Amino acid sequence: PIVVEAVSLEDYLIWLKNKINFDFNA
């Protein structure tokens, strides 16, 4: 599982958005 204890929700959403954009563009 992914541990997100030390990651704020905002940072997680930014990471998730970047990941989706990367996967889409790739």
What's the average model confidence in pLDDT over 5-20? 86
pTM of structure: 0.49
Q: Which two tokens stand for residue 21?
A: 């954009």
pLDDT at 19: 92
pLDDT at 17: 94
Dump pLDDT digits (tens) for 14-25.
Answer: 999 999 998 887
Average pLDDT, the chain: 81
Say yes or no to pLDDT of 3 above 70. Answer: no
Enumerate the domain spans of the chain. Answer: 1-26
CA-to-CA dists, residue 21 to 1, 5, 6, angstroms: 22, 24, 23
Say yes or no to pLDDT of 5 above 80. Answer: no
> Residue 19 and residue 24: Cα distance in Å, rounded?
8
